[in-house]
A and B are shown apart, each in its own frame.
Chain A
């Protein structure tokens, strides 16, 4: 881990990391589309073309489906999250301090005031959702409200506001859709190849696609795993980025540091939390990630590491 000393440098580094990861994901999805298309063309024509037009078409189709699917997910995703058990929109008089803190941070971030929600559970957690700046929601649990000081609450709200301003929720939806699509296509490819092999057994040696089939077989097995790992890596980068942005807003790393300390102890699962929504929270409500868990498949970085990086920012 490189020693970042200010939040601007930390943010830039995180953005670069995310861009690299997204590029990897795009190449992966496009490559699989191309391979599948190329294989289909080989099957029908009996020889392996240098540049497969069906391959290019399939890669384009992957991109189009990914965009369309993302748009639909973004349109309905909010409602799914907000129907979480016990979530309810509050006004200033319901929880004045929380509402005031959200207002303060929205001024610091220069974004419109989001909706504020409280989740009726004793677990300590918070999340943000929204598909564009100006249409966001920040939710915190009742347990969090009861056990954090004003400064700590400010740090947590600033972390969530950072997710909104950096459009992380939108980011993760697009990444999630691409990963889902890769898994789907690989699954289909594996099934198709089973049929294909049976047919080519009958015909005997119309090959040329033999190598291609082996390549596709390996890719179809490994790609979904790789895509999942990339998705988790993106998620972790965005958490670091939100922590750094939180400090930009509050200019006070200590609030978030001591809040993360408390959250680490009491981030229990609660009704409505599922694997589909776990990445939204400030700390993962289902799994506790420590330095010993295999980092490859964790949605969030180890809390100790997050705290260490925050201290690096002057805490």
Chain B
């Protein structure tokens, strides 16, 4: 009789461990998927910026300095990608340079009539939004995951099952603002 009770308890603990494990795996995978989405969008921005500079450089011939700064920031961000510690600040600097360029473009009415420029403009806006939303979803996922692994009773098993805490993705404030550019 007591053997059966003992066996029952073992099975119950086993089932509970499976549930905890699966819950944590699900949470971690969601966060990792979200992370890769941020990566995709940052790369997209790296690809877009040279194109934008290419189409505006004739019209903005007197803004060589700004254009060079944007390209330089973009190249720095590309070089830093893959390194989480350097990537954040480099991407933030790139955002700042991009905003500067977009603001300067306001002074060139002939650009507003250019379909190509308008199209790149929309592309850059959506990419900025996607970076912000992907980061938001990633941070929400990480929060949910961290809360789950710190909650009782999962906290008893999480560390020994190999589930460490995950870090939020922080970028300086400038990254969050979508460029406000009215081309009309």
Taking Cβ atoms with an 8 Å cutoff, the residues of A that contact B are 96-97, 100-101, 103-105, 107-110, 150, 249, 251
Contacts and interface: CB of A to CB of B under 8 A. Distances in A.
B133 A101 contact: no
Interface of B: 30, 33-34, 37, 41, 119, 122-123, 125-126, 129-130, 133-134, 136-137, 141
B130 A103 contact: yes
A111 to B, nearest CB: 10
Main secondary structure of the interface of B (DSSP, over half): helix
Main secondary structure of the interface of A (DSSP, over half): helix
Contact of B130 (A104, A109, A150): A104
From B126, B133, B137, B141, name the one whose CB has the most chain A CB atoms within 10 angstroms: B133
Given A100-B125, A249-B133, 13 more contacts: A96-B123, A97-B122, A100-B126, A101-B126, A103-B130, A104-B126, A105-B133, A107-B41, A107-B134, A108-B136, A109-B137, A150-B125, A251-B136
A110 B123 CA distance: 20
B133 A107 contact: yes
Contacts, number: 37
Contacts of B123: 96, 100
A110 B30 CA distance: 9
Nearest to A93: B119
Report, nearest first, the 9 A-B pairs whose CB atoms are least far apart. A100-B126, A108-B133, A104-B129, A107-B133, A110-B137, A107-B134, A104-B130, A107-B130, A104-B133
A199 to B, nearest CB: 57
B34 A110 contact: yes
Contact of B137 (A96, A101, A103, A108): A108
Contacts of A109: 137
B137 A107 contact: yes
Contact of B37 (A96, A107, A251): A107
Contacts of A104: 126, 129-130, 133
A110 B37 CA distance: 10
Contacts of A105: 133
A96 B133 contact: no
A105 B33 CA distance: 16
A96 B130 contact: no
